[in-house]
Amino acid sequence: MTFSPLVDRLLDALRVLPGVGPKTAQRMAMHLLERDREGGQHLARVLEEALAHVGYCQQCRNLTEHPLCAICESSRRDDSQLCVVESPADLLAIEEAGGFRGRYFVLHGHLSPLDGIGPGDLGLEQLEQQVNAGMVEEIVLATNPTVEGEATAHYVAEQLRGYGVRLSRLAYGVPMGGELEYVDGGTLSRAFVGRQPFSE
């Protein structure tokens, strides 16, 4: 069975979202058209407004509709610590976990020559300018523990090594509540390398 051309266009439009295949797009479209047209109109208005007005923070490159995001505007953050993340979603995860009170820099990706993503695409010149300003004492490299994330962390570290700042990497290892028999070898190996002194 085929739908009308406009419904087919809606299905195709919904499939631009990550993880949304044909069946999920069909469920979403049917829900909006059959049960929640008002919600669909609200979604369309907010989506159009967000796409028109949300850009990058001038300082950290987080998503915001203002020149500076709320984190960069806050006077309660520690200017001496700068956490480098791959995406705004990573920044949000760290913020929700709590514990880090410094500033951020969002790369919006990782080095990937196969995808045509090089250092110029990650805003590294802007990152160097911030570090060169002299307020940053520690840079936390919080890229993902993937091959590309590790390569990006090493590249950023090499670029910033001459600025006299302390470079650190997020610790990876056995998750709280995890059982060793179910932890993969790579994670277990990293846990041994990054082991900490035992304190009572």
Same fold, 5-53 and 76-169: no
Contact 122, 111 (CB under 8 A): yes
The CATH number, out of the four listed (3.40.50.300, 3.30.70.2190, 1.10.8.420, 1.10.10.10), of the domain defined by the range 5-53: 1.10.8.420
What pLDDT does residue 119 have? 87
pLDDT value at residue 199: 58
Contact 101, 76 (CB under 8 A): yes
Token reading at 24: 């999920």
The span from the CA of 196 to the CA of 181, in Å, is 21
3-state secondary structure 157-199: HHHHHHHCCEEEECCCCCCCCCCHHHCCHHHHHHHHHCCCCCC
Give yes or no for a contact between 105 and 136, defined as CB atoms under 8 angstroms apart: no
pLDDT in tens for each of the 200 residues of the chain?
Answer: 578 999 999 999 999 999 999 999 999 999 999 999 999 999 999 999 999 999 999 999 999 999 999 999 999 999 999 999 999 999 999 999 888 999 999 999 999 988 888 888 999 999 999 999 889 999 999 999 888 999 999 999 999 988 999 999 987 777 777 777 777 777 777 777 777 676 55
Which residue's structure tokens are 């439009």? 13
Q: Where are the domains of the chain?
A: 5-53, 76-169, 171-200
pLDDT value of position 131? 94
Please give the pLDDT value at position 1.
58
Fold of 76-169: Dna Topoisomerase Vi A Subunit; Chain: A, domain 2 (3.40.1360)
Residue pLDDT, tens place only, 135-164: 999 999 999 988 899 999 999 999 998 899
Q: What's the chain look like in SS3?
A: CCCCHHHHHHHHHHCCCCCCCHHHHHHHHHHHHHCCHHHHHHHHHHHHHHHHHCEECCCCCCEECCCCCHHHHCCCCEEEEEEEECCHHHHHHHHHHCCCCEEEEECCCCCEHHHCECHHHHCHHHHHHHHHCCCCCEEEECCCCCHHHHHHHHHHHHHHHHHCCEEEECCCCCCCCCCHHHCCHHHHHHHHHCCCCCCC
Q: What is the pLDDT of residue 27?
A: 96
Cβ neighbours of 52 (radius 10 Å): 9
CA end-to-end span of the chain, whole Å? 67
